[in-house]
Amino acid sequence: MTLTQTSRAALWFLAASVLLLVVIGASLSLGAVNISITEVLSWATGQSPDGSLSGRVLSGVRLPRTLAAVAVGAALAASGAALQGIQRTPVVDAHLMGISGAAGLGVAIGYTIAPTGASSQTAVLLGVVTGIGYGLLSRRFTAANSGSLVGVLVGIGAGLALMAWTGLFVLLVDSADVPTLSFFIFGSLSGASWALVAMAVPLVVASVAVLWWMGPGLDLLALGERASMQLGFDVRRRVPLALAAIGVAVGASVALGGVIGFVGLIVPLTIRPLLGSVNRLMIPASAIGGAIIVVAFDILARTLAAPIEIPIGLLTASVGGPVLVWLIRRETA
């Protein structure tokens, strides 16, 4: 790596980190309760008077929600970057592969069977378990098609079926303990609680770290599975490990914010021209980029039509759908 590339990457990470802090500040400040950025800063430095309305809103509602948005964005975008390496195509993410749909079904079941007082934990657990299970299973029916759009189409079909099953499940169970159908189709961060965040965020951090650690191996996959095996990458063990890590990240993110599409597609797509395809850079950069995008879209989701919230997935799909069309045309041209 030349010096210019290194400094360019350093500059990118610096700028992205600043931007992330800015959107986090905006996310804490904006909402139905008027809280100025000065109040946010004095609260963050512990100078806010005890029991004040803004303090209670910040620590009880907006901080867990903002942390959830950061984690969801990081999980989806880092998973997207890793999946694109595994499938050897930029036209894929956890949503298109059906992993989000599978995790959604797990989360819905988790809320249904959860013992009293442990609904968040059970939902995260079941989301992660189904995410891993489906991630590993998907390997069976997409491995032969890696590098082509056929594998993605298989994933889309499976994802649509899983979403339909989740919908049927939610409507038939008809329980107040289970989030609404909209949560499992278009997502929402409005239910983010400390219980969810405490369970899901560490899982996201750990799984993104695993993906980052596997970065060089994922780079080799770009040469094809046979070639990368000859270069010493244990495809049979490492690819399932990566898919399991993706299952954990996506399962935790779906428990936090429901099924939100296209984040894993758009973010790596935007970053790759700037930083190149080296996964040791792409995966952390995608995590930061994804966090920025989801926090920003969540701000729009709860302010555009306040006090009514727009499902965040409607916003990401509004942008992501056209990008997908453009991407497929480019790939098949």
Partner 1 sequence: MSVLLEHSSMHRARPLVFAAALALVAAACTSGGSLSTGDQEGSFTGSDGVASSVSDTSRIVTLSGDLTEFVYELGAGSAVVATDITTVHPQEAALLPKVGIGRFLSTEAVLAQNPTLVIGDTQTGPQSAIDQIRAAGVPVVILDTSTTFSSMYAKIGQLGEILDAGAEAEALTDQLRRDVAEAGAVNPPSQESPSIAYVYTRGPDVMLLFGNDMVTNPVIAAAGARDAGALSGVNGSIPVTPEALIAAAPDIIVVPSEGLETLGGIDGLLGIPGIAQTPAGASGYILAYPEGDFLTLGPRVAESVAALTNDLRDLGVIP
**Site residues for partner 1 per CB under 8 A:** 31-34, 51, 53, 56-57, 60-61, 176-177, 179-180, 190-191, 193-194, 302, 306-309
CB 199 within 8 A of CB 124: yes
Task: State the minimum distance, in angstroms, from the CB of residue 100 to partner 1.
Answer: 20
Minimum CB distance to partner 1 smaller for 39 or for 225:
39
Minimum CB distance to partner 1 smaller for 10 or for 306:
306
Task: State the minimum distance, in angstroms, from the CB of residue 303 to partner 1.
Answer: 10
**Distance, CA of 175 to CA of 173 (rounded, Å):** 6
**Distance, CA of 248 to CA of 293 (rounded, Å):** 21
Which tokens sit at 80? 């997207």
Q: How far is CA 101 from CA 15, 84, 108, 167, 251, in A?
A: 33, 18, 11, 10, 10
Lookup result for tokens 């969801």:
72
Task: State the minimum distance, in angstroms, from the CB of residue 19 to partner 1.
Answer: 24
Minimum CB distance to partner 1 smaller for 91 or for 301:
301
Q: What are the start-end ranges of the E strands in 208-323?
A: none
Minimum CB distance to partner 1 smaller for 33 or for 144:
33
Which tokens sit at 65? 């929600």
* Total count of residues recorded for the chain: 333
CB 99 within 8 A of CB 135: yes
Task: State the minimum distance, in angstroms, from the CB of residue 116 to partner 1.
Answer: 10
Task: State the minimum distance, in angstroms, from the CB of residue 61 to partner 1.
Answer: 5
Minimum CB distance to partner 1 smaller for 53 or for 153:
53
Which tokens sit at 194? 């400390």
CB 154 within 8 A of CB 142: yes
Minimum CB distance to partner 1 smaller for 134 or for 297:
297
Angle among Cα 146, 149, 150 to the nearest 5 degrees reads 80
Lookup result for tokens 């919908």:
167
Task: State the minimum distance, in angstroms, from the CB of residue 149 to partner 1.
Answer: 38
Question: What's at 51, amino acid-wise?
Answer: G
Task: State the minimum distance, in angstroms, from the CB of residue 28 to partner 1.
Answer: 12
User: Computed from CA positions of residues 159, 163, 165, 169, in that sequence, does the dihedral angle turn out positive or negative?
Assistant: positive
Minimum CB distance to partner 1 smaller for 135 or for 257:
257
Which tokens sit at 189? 């961060």
